[in-house]
Amino acid sequence: MKRIAGRLLKQPARQGVVQAQSRLGQMLCRDCDNTRDRRIGVELLRQAARAGDGAAQLELGRLYCQPRTLEPHQARHWLELAALQGQGEARDLLRRL
């Protein structure tokens, strides 16, 4: 099912559809052990987050809070933007930073 979803999202994501970039980026970051796919996922999330997608901002904040990708300044930046868009989990994560 996820492969089908990934295929369906790939073309719209390439065309700059923000929601497709966000969703595909999340899928690649969460479900892939492949470093290349994770790197692509992070880039898609960045594109969507820069375009104002709150879910992508939250996901980037989460990623930058993880021990293997810990970058507190980046985490705070994306979580603050996500919190401004009403992402409650972002506010919770900010309190823990």
Q: What total of structural domains would you count in the chain?
A: 1
**Assigned token pair, 57:** 């901002």
Which of these, 77, 86, 85, lies nearest to 94 by C-alpha position?
Answer: 77
What is the number of residues in the chain?
97
- For residue range 66-95, list pLDDT tens digits in order: 888 889 999 999 999 999 999 999 999 999
List of residues 6+ apart from 56 with CB closer than 8 A:
18, 21, 22, 25, 26, 45, 46, 48, 49
CA separation for the pair 45, 55 (Å, rounded): 9
Assessment of whether the complete model's pTM goes beyond 0.95: no
Q: Which CATH number do you get for residue 33?
A: 1.25.40
Rounded CA-CA distance 63/1 in Å is 24
Q: What percent of the chain has pLDDT over 90?
A: 71
Domain of residue 39: give its range. Answer: 1-96
Two structure tokens written together for 18? 């923000």
